[in-house]
Chain A
Amino acid sequence: MSIRRICSYLNAIFILSICLTGTVTAFEDDDGCLLCHKYPKMGRITEDGARRSYYVIPHVFGSTVHRNVPCKDCHSYIKELPHREVDTGVTCDSECHSIKNPATGKNFSHKSIYDKYMGSAHGRDKKAEGHDQDKPYCVTCHTNPIYNPNEDTPPKQVTQRCVVCHEDEEFVTNWYKHTSRRIKEVKRSPKEVMELCSSCHGDKRLIERHMKDAEKDGRELGEKYPFAAESYQQSFHGKVVKYGFSKAASCLDCHADNDNYYMNVHDIRPSRDPLSSVHENNVLETCKRCHTRADENYAHLDPHPTPVSESENNDFRYYSNLIYGWIGDVVLVLLIGLALFETIGRRRDGVGWRLRKGSTWWRKSKRGRDRKE
């Protein structure tokens, strides 16, 4: 088979696949964006050398929460095709023009939660400069998988009942998917929360960078900032959470107001901020969410004790641990020393020191009549 022949086959397959992909898109592509973005190789290497992929996988995007939003609603800066170089890209506070909020009738938008987030310790613009770059933007935490539970085939016993009146099978299936994934708990588990927060707050180099920046700018950082993740992981909360126990407090259980979890996890503030749930005026109420019988004294207990490896700002813990360690070592050395000394000493008893002559081993306790000196 000649090369030319193989090429022509491949060409045919390629063209066929293009035609086929066009027919299986699960969402409306009225603007024809997929004309280019359906190609896996669609991407570039930026000036900083980072690889960027602009590939949109139709059937994957077709099952995300945004599948019914036309591309241009978010990518509103695109006025012509082929479009110019994108500067900022999509920001999550933009307003949809095609989707209405059924409750208010206004254009749909994430603005309210975006504003909450911007007021929190994590708030940053999408195009951020300096140390703000280390802060998480929406998509740092909002990765799609947690919003996409595997719901390919909605349960028949539910949809069959709906279809009796709503008639349209497709409508019922889509409606079911829309609501069911919102009724479902899409919170991260405490363990996932810990891992997510630790991915930045446990990053030594990031912490160091921020401490230096803060010192230079004369900004204040929290007392626990240098070891927030480490000290949590060494605390009892952290240990059992790490083992997958779901009832112990994760980062968000204390650092976010629990009035409306989904809203308030976006509003994490430093403890020096009076609005923070761990501010000294609010911390007791926060403890009481779980420890219902907590009192003023209880609020003074430290959930982030300095790791025992550091003496910094907690000499008490550091030296207690050191002394405990020493006591343990000394006691063990002394006792094992005593046991060894005794064993050697008893060899004088002749054969008695040998295990097989133990009085509990044989019926007779004849450890040797002759005494050896």
Chain B
Amino acid sequence: MKLSAEARDVLESTMRMNKVSDAEREDIERVIESMPEDRVLLYKNVVSNPIGDLPRYDIHIRLQHMLTFVTFLTLAFTGLPIAFLDHFWATPLNDFVGGVDVSRIIHRTLASVMVFSMVYHIIYIFWLVLRDILNGRFILQRTLIPTFKDARDFKDDMLYHAGKRDQRPEMDKFMYKQKIHYFAAAFGNLVMVVSGSSFLFPEFWAAILPVGSASYFQEMMRLSHPHEALLALLVIAFWHWYNVHLAPGRFPMQWTFLTGKITREHQIEEHFLEYLRNLVEIPAEREYLLDMEDARELSSTDIDESVVIEKPE
């Protein structure tokens, strides 16, 4: 495979960062060369362990996700029947979660767990960034920070799904959908925490805001809390669960949130640049890929030869 300039950059910088020896560099180049030009062939032929082959999330991130989603769902179930009490499902659901006397305790307790999870996450990612910068291993493109490339990836991916493009774009560890989702969730979380705190500590917010805006703020927060909660719940139900459970190739679910690993197939399809880094960092992956290409006769060198033979005809 002939790498694009972008992919080449990623490969070179990763090799530099990992200080690979010349012999290893040769090995890596050989693997890259053997890969078929059509990445679709590659990800369709690899054998994946359903619970994941390649590292993606460490235990802290998994724990933060777990804390956030368990609290989020329970908060939604205890909160929504209060916000939407004139709906037919509100009273039965409220009774089911124990009535207001109980659910308010659950709601506040879990809210503090969610705030803890948020703080834990913020401290943790700052620490990760700091560690990587100090070790000289920080790569902006490998983080969730949006770049111009994401806009291009989005366009290219849409073209692919519309049938106007041959391959999906070469995306990094976090693709455009994940970045949108992450920042939407982060923003939503912040809105929920601020608006929730304005219900729990209205005196505090009234005291620190100027008198002209205290009432507007409170009204805004009263609207924000249920609106944002409902939006978040619907986005989770219709989009996030689609992406990780129902999307073609992902059913019944991605196990990444439990195992922290991503399947090889998924990595090649949607995070090809990260897969290149995997090839540099995990020698066993190179070995596997070569074996697979041999077994399935996919090696690009073989194809090239056949093309050469066929061309004169």
Residues of A within 8 A of B (CB): 236, 239-240, 242-245, 291, 293-298, 300-302, 305, 308, 314, 316-317, 320-321, 324-325, 327-328, 331-332, 335-336, 338-339, 341-349, 352-369, 371
**Interface contact tally, CB-CB below 8 A:** 183
Contact B249 A366 (CB under 8 A): no
Knowing A324-B223, A360-B254, the reply to whether A352 touches B160 (Cβ < 8 A) is: no
Contact A353 B206 (CB under 8 A): no
Contact B100 A240 (CB under 8 A): yes
Can you name the residue of chain B whose Cβ is closest to the Cβ of A316? B216
Q: Which 3 A-B pairs have the closest CB atoms?
A: A345-B161, A353-B248, A358-B251
Contact A345 B162 (CB under 8 A): yes
B312: Cβ under 8 A from any A Cβ: no
Contact B206 A236 (CB under 8 A): no
Residues of chain A within 8 A of B209, CB atoms compared: 297
Q: What would 9 A/B residue contacts be, using CB atoms closer than 8 Å? A: A236-B199, A236-B222, A243-B100, A301-B215, A349-B40, A352-B44, A360-B250, A365-B48, A371-B38
Nearest CB on B from A84, distance (A): 51
- Residue picked from A297, A338, A346, A354, most chain B C-beta under 10 Å: A297
Residues of B within 8 A of A (CB): 38, 40-41, 43-51, 82-83, 85, 91, 94, 99-101, 104, 158, 160-163, 177, 199, 202-204, 206-207, 209-211, 214-216, 218-220, 222-224, 227, 230-231, 234-235, 238-239, 242-243, 246-255, 263-266, 296
Can you name the residue of chain B whose Cβ is closest to the Cβ of A248? B100
Nearest CB on A from B42, distance (A): 11
In the complex, A302 Cα to B238 Cα: how many Å?
36
Contact B82 A243 (CB under 8 A): yes
Contact B101 A245 (CB under 8 A): yes
Can you name the residue of chain B whose Cβ is closest to the Cβ of A341? B161
Can you name the residue of chain A whose Cβ is closest to the Cβ of B230? A328
Residues of chain A within 8 A of B50, CB atoms compared: 359-363
In the complex, A299 Cα to B46 Cα: how many Å?
66
In the complex, A12 Cα to B285 Cα: how many Å?
106
Task: Name A349's contact: one of B218, B249, B255 (CB within 8 Å).
Answer: B249
Nearest CB on A from B129, distance (A): 29
Known: A297-B210, A301-B206. 11 other contacts (CB 8 A): A293-B203, A298-B214, A300-B214, A328-B234, A345-B160, A345-B161, A355-B251, A363-B49, A364-B48, A365-B264, A369-B44
Knowing A305-B222, A358-B249, the reply to whether A300 touches B206 (Cβ < 8 A) is: yes
Residues of chain B within 8 A of A291, CB atoms compared: 202-203
In the complex, A368 Cα to B161 Cα: how many Å?
18
Contact B214 A345 (CB under 8 A): no
- Residue picked from B101, B246, B249, most chain A C-beta under 10 Å: B249
Contact A320 B223 (CB under 8 A): yes
Contact A240 B46 (CB under 8 A): no
Contact A328 B160 (CB under 8 A): no
Task: Name A366's contact: one of B44, B234, B247 (CB within 8 Å).
Answer: B44
- Residue picked from A291, A324, A336, most chain B C-beta under 10 Å: A324
Can you name the residue of chain A whose Cβ is closest to the Cβ of B240? A335
Knowing A301-B206, A346-B248, the reply to whether A366 touches B163 (Cβ < 8 A) is: no
Contact B211 A358 (CB under 8 A): no
Contact B45 A336 (CB under 8 A): no
Knowing A242-B85, A301-B218, A369-B45, the reply to whether A324 touches B206 (Cβ < 8 A) is: no
Can you name the residue of chain B whose Cβ is closest to the Cβ of A302? B215
In the complex, A321 Cα to B83 Cα: how many Å?
14
Nearest CB on B from A323, distance (A): 10
In the complex, A298 Cα to B203 Cα: how many Å?
6
In the complex, A339 Cα to B237 Cα: how many Å?
12
In the complex, A87 Cα to B46 Cα: how many Å?
98
Can you name the residue of chain A whose Cβ is closest to the Cβ of B234? A332
Nearest CB on A from B18, distance (A): 28
